[in-house]
């Protein structure tokens, strides 16, 4: 073999290495743009999402957003998992009332406990916000933060959805799991911003959604630091700390994240202000509303639903430039097991 042949071999080697590098970069790009959302049908909704992500991540583009500023916020109930026939946390609460009833015999004759024990949703609704609050305090407070986290995990391990028969953590929306992962792969920080209890979500959001506890924002009760027999504890008090719903959502976002998001995902009018706050910022913004119009695969509800009512959001989405996801049309699959 001549000197020239050797050079040729080395050059060839170099070309192959470079080609592999180029291919791997292109491969990543293709994977991000086209294959990261396989459970989304190829409709304009998906195209708009991908276009937004491409726009804000393209270096040198005037609409480029630095990774530190790529904050995306997701509602939980009805946006990441099912909220019908009742919010999952309400199902947890009703089961907790039953578990605690033997130690509280007076509940058998006292509202709203009687209604909770009998599963009388009408009487429960009649007890109003005050009644619900009373139930929350009786079932969610008085324990330590560690005890409460265990209660939630133990309950989720055995509880089943009344209609779909599966654990609640399997009734998460596959297209939204892909969306969370797709955004993170593109340098976004993904947060949950839910009206639900922050401590009801934190024990499992990292495992199920890839969202760690410090990126969960929600409603909360107060806690108190105590040292008992030399052991420090955080005790959960029967006192509301914060309601992370409606106009509370931008407040919760600011309090917790300290930056205005550039993308927000919701499904009900409880998310209206979060979407409004997010999309009112300068530069490209993404607002998205999941519309539950799929009675066959999940549920169909909007303007008149007791849980996750969507009315004003449906009226104003178009004029505000928010995408409305039709579950029926835009989602190829609903749940991971489908």
Contact between 142 and a copy of itself by CB under 8 A: the answer reads no
- At 189, which helix (H) or strand (E)? strand 189-197
Least distance between a copy of itself and beta carbon 228 (Å): 11
- Binding residue for a copy of itself (CB under 8 A) from 223, 244, 284, 298? 223
Least distance between a copy of itself and beta carbon 207 (Å): 10
Contact between 238 and a copy of itself by CB under 8 A: the answer reads no
Q: Applying CB under 8 A, which part among 26-34, 73-81, 90-98, 243-251 lies near a copy of itself?
A: 243-251
Closest CA to 159 of 86, 244, 78: 86
Contact between 189 and a copy of itself by CB under 8 A: the answer reads yes
Could you say which residues in the range 193-212 bind a copy of itself, by CB under 8 A? 198-199, 202, 206, 212
CA–CA dist 196, 77 (Å, integer): 8
Closest CA to 326 of 304, 302, 309: 302
Least distance between a copy of itself and beta carbon 268 (Å): 17
Is 230 in a helix, a strand, or coil? Answer: coil
Q: Applying CB under 8 A, which part among 44-52, 95-103, 112-120, 231-239 lies near a copy of itself?
A: 231-239
- Binding residue for a copy of itself (CB under 8 A) from 11, 18, 22, 280? 280
CA–CA dist 98, 3 (Å, integer): 86
Taking a C-beta distance cutoff of 8 angstroms, is the pair 195, 77 a contact? yes
Least distance between a copy of itself and beta carbon 279 (Å): 9
Could you say which residues in the range 3-42 bind a copy of itself, by CB under 8 A? 3, 5-6, 9, 13
Residue count of the chain, please give it. 338
- In DSSP notation, 172-218 reads B-HHHHHHHHHHHHTTPEEEEEEEEEHHHHHHHHHHHHS--GGGEEE
CA–CA dist 325, 307 (Å, integer): 18
Least distance between a copy of itself and beta carbon 101 (Å): 29
Q: Applying CB under 8 A, which part among 94-102, 154-162, 245-253, 295-303 lies near a copy of itself?
A: 245-253
Q: C-alpha distances in angstroms, 76 versus 38, 102, 120, 268?
A: 21, 33, 26, 11
- Binding residue for a copy of itself (CB under 8 A) from 227, 228, 229, 282? 227
Taking a C-beta distance cutoff of 8 angstroms, is the pair 138, 110 a contact? no
Return the bridge partners of 219, or none.
197
Measure the CA angle with vertex 71, ends 308 and 222; round to 5°.
Answer: 60
CA–CA dist 104, 100 (Å, integer): 7
- Binding residue for a copy of itself (CB under 8 A) from 273, 288, 291, 323? 273
Whichever of 125 and 247 has its CB closer to a copy of itself, that residue is 247
On the CB side of 224, CA atoms within 13 Å amount to 10
Least distance between a copy of itself and beta carbon 239 (Å): 12
Residues that bind a copy of itself (CB under 8 A): 1-3, 5-6, 9, 13, 68, 71, 145, 189, 191, 198-199, 202, 206, 212-216, 220, 222-225, 227, 231-232, 234, 241, 247-248, 250-251, 254-259, 273, 276-277, 280
């Amino acid at each position: 073999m001549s000197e020239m042949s050797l050079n040729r071999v080395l050059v060839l080697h170099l070309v192959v290495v470079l080609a592999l590098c180029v291919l791997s970069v292109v491969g990543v790009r293709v994977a991000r743009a086209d294959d990261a959302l396989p459970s989304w049908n190829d409709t304009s909704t998906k195209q708009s999402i991908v276009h937004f992500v491409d726009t804000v991540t393209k270096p040198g583009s005037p609409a480029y957003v630095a990774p530190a500023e790529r904050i995306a916020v997701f509602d939980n109930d009805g946006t990441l998992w099912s909220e019908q026939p009742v919010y999952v946390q309400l199902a947890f609460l009703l089961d907790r009332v039953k578990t605690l009833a033997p130690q509280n015999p007076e509940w058998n004759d006292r509202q709203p406990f009687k209604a909770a024990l009998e599963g009388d949703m009408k009487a429960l609704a009649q007890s109003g916000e005050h009644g619900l609050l009373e139930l929350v305090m009786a079932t969610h407070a008085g324990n330590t933060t560690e005890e409460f986290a265990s209660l939630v995990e133990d309950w989720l391990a055995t509880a089943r959805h009344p209609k779909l028969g599966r654990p609640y953590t399997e009734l998460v929306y596959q297209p939204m799991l892909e969306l969370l992962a797709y955004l993170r792969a593109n340098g976004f920080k993904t947060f949950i911003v839910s009206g639900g209890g922050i401590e009801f979500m934190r024990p499992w959001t990292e495992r199920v959604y890839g969202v760690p506890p410090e990126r969960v924002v929600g409603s909360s009760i107060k806690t108190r630091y105590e040292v008992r027999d030399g052991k420090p504890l955080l005790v959960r008090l029967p006192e509301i700390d914060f309601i992370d719903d409606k106009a509370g959502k931008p407040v919760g976002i600011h309090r917790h994240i300290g930056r205005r998001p550039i993308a927000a995902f919701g499904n009900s009018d409880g998310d209206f202000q979060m979407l409004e706050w997010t999309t009112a910022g300068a530069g490209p913004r993404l607002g998205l509303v999941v519309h539950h119009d799929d009675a066959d695969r999940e549920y169909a509800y909007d303007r008149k639903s007791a849980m996750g009512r969507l009315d004003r959001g449906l009226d104003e989405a178009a004029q505000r430039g928010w995408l409305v996801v039709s579950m029926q049309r835009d989602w190829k699959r609903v749940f991971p097991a489908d």
